[in-house]
Structure 1
């Protein structure tokens, strides 16, 4: 069914605790997997920050009795830069308050060239206003000058997003398509993307997926293991983590304000190394994440709530050119550890 074009309005400065209400959503299912897919809306959307792509924010994906992407924060506060601990609760900023596989085009387009008060482009968000001469800050909530033209089409097991945007001031323009689809007969979700450069300037950025995995609300700890297809080399291993050949594990359950973050190195120049497995032996569940483009970086970020393995891919598109990429999520179960 074709939904009407969504009106994406300028983002206001005042953002209250109700900012993370569900807003418009599409619920999809293939009989094995079901998920909520949040739709872009500048007034009532679940995510209205200027950091992550507004298309295809996923939450509460359920498979075989497991919830992979429940909400990991308790409230949203515009006075917070990233997130803060409040006893047993976590408060997040509008730019961080997102769930599930959440993608960000890390490098904004035209920011350095824009003068204070001028405009620049954040793919998947829109044309933003540069506030001052300070360096770009992905945690800052920028004014949305033009959210572009969004269209959304939903079927029972998929949602397709299209964003068309042009910024005469910077010369950037694009046609961005993204589909979130559950594969028929499989416990699998596929994110398919294409980005066409319709502007006058080359698009150069890096896109990564934050992958806010919060499996059954279990904090990262020794029951989790992260597997890669390559030997991990040269990594600076932080406290509470350990590297074992091709694996990263935890030496304790993260609690309080514990944080484990590290760059993961050792991958090669081929897409076959974009192959990540995250398993929890106590829950008896896991997910495999594969991509069809070579990696440029992998980063692990984890706190007492989500465990995020972030794969990065470089994007360079000349005017008139197009770039496509795909990420596949396979959800599975395994024998539980009944110690």
Structure 2
């Protein structure tokens, strides 16, 4: 086992998880529980990277989540030189009066993270430093069972101000490293009405690629809160698939990708008053014929 990773394994799946701060030290993605690789039945893989070029992009890989892509906590009332809260990371420093931009690299003061491991789970617990009335305790547990992977979140507001932000998992995925194209099918969590890039064909809630994408593609759509949403990505020639399910109302769906990777993203809204707790779960099922 690498000192940079933790492994969970059973008779069906093997999961490699990055240790906090060892591989990723950026200011965008949650440092805890970054899932680098998932292997099903010793032969099928599901994860990729944001970019194939070292140093390009924001350093994302595998199944990694982000809090506050558009609404980091406390940024709007933060002066240059002061810190704001980025859940899953710690305190970031606001350098100037510019709008928050997740592509930007902010100075990081990471929250300490305690790790507890069992045979089939890893639990991460972190407490943020006090930040102008904002404070949070975040607990995140990754658990495997047969061909399933669950991520349970518990967010406790330990400050005096309301925590209001968003959360999603970026899901940098492909299947068996196969290039994106007509061999893939994506079942969406709802029937979208947005204008799509020309590379796609939409039939009901089924999205297909007409050809291999030669440039970055992206679309997103806000939606009325949809209960128990899910998406399924299938590589049709092999029948291998990955499904993500969510037990919180979906408020936005986005799809980003390149020829080597696709990222179906289900966003939730977070609002936790002082002393209150919010819990939610993301569940992944890895499927083969």
TM-score of the aligned structures, taking structure 1 as reference length? 0.80
The reply on whether 1:263 has 2:220 as its aligned counterpart is: yes
1:249 pairs with one of 208, 215, 237:
208
2:4 pairs with one of 24, 32, 37:
24
Q: Does the C-alpha gap of structure 1 residues 208 and 324 become closer, same or farther in structure 2, counting only changes over 3 Å?
A: same
2:105 pairs with one of 118, 122, 141:
141
CA RMSD of aligned residues (A): 1.6
Paired residues of 1:166 and 1:199 also in contact (CA < 8 A): no
- How many residue pairs are counted as aligned between the two chains? 285
Post-superposition, which runs of at least 4 consecutive aligned residues in structure 1 deviate over 2 A? 70-77, 267-270
Paired residues of 2:192 and 2:205 also in contact (CA < 8 A): no
In structure 2, distance between residues paired with 1:286 and 1:23: 30
The reply on whether 1:208 has 2:168 as its aligned counterpart is: yes
Matches within 5 A, 1:1-339: 24-41=4-21, 45-64=22-41, 65-71=43-49, 73-77=51-55, 92-93=56-57, 96-105=58-67, 106=69, 107-145=71-109, 147-168=110-131, 170-183=132-145, 186-228=146-188, 230=190, 232-255=191-214, 258-264=215-221, 268-272=224-228, 274-334=229-289
In structure 1, distance between residues paired with 2:50 and 2:275: 40
Equivalent position SS for 2:60: coil
Paired residues of 1:239 and 1:260 also in contact (CA < 8 A): no
Equivalent position SS for 2:176: helix
- Between 1:97-106 and 1:47-56, the stretch displaced more is 97-106
Deviations 1:37-63 (A, max 9, x none): 11112xxx1111110101110112100
In structure 1, distance between residues paired with 2:163 and 2:50: 33
Q: State the Cα distance separating 1:253 from its structure 2 match.
A: 1.4
Q: State the Cα distance separating 1:291 from its structure 2 match.
A: 0.5
Structure showing greater radius of gyration is: 1
Q: Which has the higher strand share?
A: 2
Structure 2 gaps of 5+ residues are none
Structure 1 gaps of 5+ residues are 1-21, 78-91, 335-339
Q: Does the C-alpha gap of structure 1 residues 317 and 76 become closer, same or farther in structure 2, counting only changes over 3 Å?
A: same
Paired residues of 2:20 and 2:31 also in contact (CA < 8 A): yes
Deviations 1:259-295 (A, max 9, x none): 2222256x653423x1111100123310111010010
TM-score of the aligned structures, taking structure 2 as reference length? 0.94
Equivalent position SS for 2:142: strand
Number of the residue aligned with 1:15: none
Equivalent position SS for 1:218: coil
Paired residues of 2:247 and 2:280 also in contact (CA < 8 A): yes
Q: State the Cα distance separating 1:203 from its structure 2 match.
A: 0.4
Q: State the Cα distance separating 1:75 from its structure 2 match.
A: 4.6
Paired residues of 1:197 and 1:320 also in contact (CA < 8 A): yes
Q: State the Cα distance separating 1:72 from its structure 2 match.
A: 5.4
Deviations 1:166-208 (A, max 9, x none): 224x21111000011101xx20000000000001110000101
